[in-house]
Structure 1
Amino acid sequence: MANNAPNPATDMNRRQQFVESYRLTKKTDRFIGLILLATFLISGALGFVLFVLLPGTGAIELALGIVGGLMIGLLTTLIVFGRRAQKSAFAQMEGQPGAAASALRLLRRGWKVDAVVGFTKQQDMVHRVVGPPGIVLIGEGNPNRLPKLMASERRKHERVAADTPVHEVIAGNEEGQVPLRKLVRHVQKLGRGVKPAELTDVLNRIKALDAQRSTIPIPKGPVPTSMKGNRGNMKGR
C-alpha cells in the first residue's frame, strides 16, 4: 500500500525556506510584515464580499465567503511577498562578485547557465547562457576592461559554434547595461536563433571548448540564498 503520509522533513524545509526568505527580505524592506498583513486583510475582505454576493442560501454564502476570502487573501499575499522578496534579493546582490550568475539561476528549463567562463584578476567576469537565442555572454565588472574580455570569449565561441548566434550583454546600472532585476527577462527576449533539436550539438561543441580551459575559481560572496526560494515557491513577478 502506498504511503500518503506527509513528509515532516520536506514540510520543515519549505517552512525554513520561507522563513529565511522573509528574514533576508526584511533587511532591505523594513515594513514587509505590515505590508503583507495589510495585503492579506484587504484582499481577504474583498474576496469574502465577492463570494457572499454569489447566489445561494445564507449558510452557504457565509461558508463560501470565509473560505474564498482566506484563499484569495493567501494567494495575493504570496504574490506580493514573491515580488518584494525578489526585489530585495537583487538589491542585496548588487555589487557582489558573481551577482549576474546568481540572477541567471531564475532561468527555467531549456536554458544552460555556466558561471564564470572567463575572468580577469580584477574580478571582471563573463558568464554564459545557452538557450533558444543561441549563446549569450553576460559580462559584469569594470566597463573599461570588459570589452576586451567579452571580445576574447566571443571569438572562442564563434570558432567552435560558427553557425550559432552569439549575443553580448553587460550587467550593471550604467547606460547601455542591463540591471540585475531585468537581466533574466532581457535574455529571454533575445529571440530564437537556435532550434531545440540543435541545442544538443551546440552544447557538445561548447563542452569541447571548456575542456581546454584551466580550472576557474568562482568568486565567493554574500549572495542572498532567498533566490532559490523565489524561484521554487514565489512566482509573483
Structure 2
Amino acid sequence: MAKEKKAKKDKKKGPKVINQIRQIYKYTHAEDRALPWLLAGAFLLPVVVGVIVGLLMHWSWLTWIFMVILLVMVGVLLFTMTLTNRADKVGYAKLEGQPGAAVSVLGNINKAGYNFPQTPVWIDPKTKEAIWRGTGYNGIYLLAEGSESRTKRPLERQKQSIKGVTAGSDIPVFTISVGTGEGQVRLKDLRKTVLKCKSYEPVEHKFAFMNKIHPRRRFVLTKDELETLNGRLRTLQEKRGLGIPKGMDPTRPQHISRRAMRGR
C-alpha cells in the first residue's frame, strides 16, 4: 500500500512541475518577448559546444552516450536558471513602486534572524510613502519607500526614537531608500543590499600592537539580545501608535512571494 501511495504521489508531482514551468513561462513571456530565444540558447549552448568538442576529440560511442546525457542535463539546468532569472526580473518590474512591495520582498528572506514586520512605522497620508522597520543579527533596518527627499526627515525621527530604546548599546541602524531615483536601491537589489549591511566595532587588546593586526570586528547580536531588541521595538511601536491613512491598510500590505511573482 505504501508503494502504491508513493507511486501515485510521484505521478501527481511530475505533471505539477510541468504545469508550474508552463505557468511561469506564460507569465514571463507576456512581458519578455525575447524569452523563447534565450531559453533555446541556454539549452542548446552546452549541447552544441559538447558536440563540437566530441568531433574534435573523436570520442568513442560509449563516451558519446555519457556526454550527451550530461550535456542535456546541463542544458536543462541552464534553461531552468534562465527562466527563473527572467521571471524574477519581470516580477520585480511589476511590483516596483507599489506600496508595501519592499517589506513583502523581505518578508520571506531565507536568512536566519531577519524579521521584517508587515506593519509600517510611518506613513504619509497623502503620498502613501512609508517607512518599514526590520531587525537582524547585524542590527536594525529602516526601509523608506518613496521620494528620498520627503522621507529623509521621517527617517531621522525614526532613528532618534530607536536610540531611546537602544541607549547605551552600539546597535547599528541601517537606512535604505527604496525606489528608482538616483542613489536609491531598486527593488530587485533590495534583498542583496540588506544581506550586505554590516557594521564593525574597534577591538581593544591588552597589547597595543594587536590593534594593528585586528583593528575591528564585526558587530553581531546574540539570539537573546535580538529577542530583547525585538520586544523593545514592539513596545515602542505600541506606545507611539500609527495613524492609518484612508485607502491603505498597513496591517495588510501586499503579500508578495517569489512564487506569486512568477505567476504561480
The verdict on a shared fold, with TM-score over 0.5 as the criterion, is yes
Q: Which residue of 1 aligns with 2:21?
A: 18
Structure 1 stretches of 5 or more lacking a match? Answer: 232-237
Q: Which residue of 2 aligns with 1:77?
A: 79
Q: Which residue of 2 aligns with 1:188?
A: 195
- Matched to 1:135, the amino acid is I
Q: Which residue of 2 aligns with 1:114?
A: 117
Cα pair distance change 1:147/1:36, threshold 3 Å: same
Q: Distance in 2 between matches of 1:13 and 1:150?
A: 45
Check whether the contact 1:44–1:71 (CA below 8 A) recurs between aligned residues.
no
Q: Distance in 2 between matches of 1:119 and 1:31?
A: 39
CA offsets per residue over residues 144-185 of structure 1, 9 Å max, x none?
321222223223322223322111110112222112222211
Identity of aligned residues (%): 26
Q: Which residue of 2 aligns with 1:35?
A: 38
CA offsets per residue over residues 71-125 of structure 1, 9 Å max, x none?
1001111122222222211211222222222332463122112232321212111
Specify which of 184, 188, 191 is matched with residue 177 of structure 1. 184
State the 1:32 CA deviation: 0.6
Q: Distance in 2 between matches of 1:112 and 1:92?
A: 24
User: How many pairs does the alignment contain?
Assistant: 229
Q: Secondary structure at the match of 1:194?
A: coil
TM-score (norm 1): 0.79
Q: Which residue of 2 aligns with 1:201?
A: 228
Q: Which residue of 2 aligns with 1:235?
A: none
Is residue 175 of structure 2 the alignment partner of residue 168 of structure 1?
yes
Q: Secondary structure at the match of 1:136?
A: strand
**Superposition RMSD in Å:** 3.3
State the 1:54 CA deviation: 8.9
Q: Distance in 1 between matches of 2:136 and 2:194?
A: 9
Check whether the contact 1:25–1:88 (CA below 8 A) recurs between aligned residues.
yes
State the 1:47 CA deviation: 4.4
State the 1:204 CA deviation: 2.2
TM-score (norm 2): 0.72
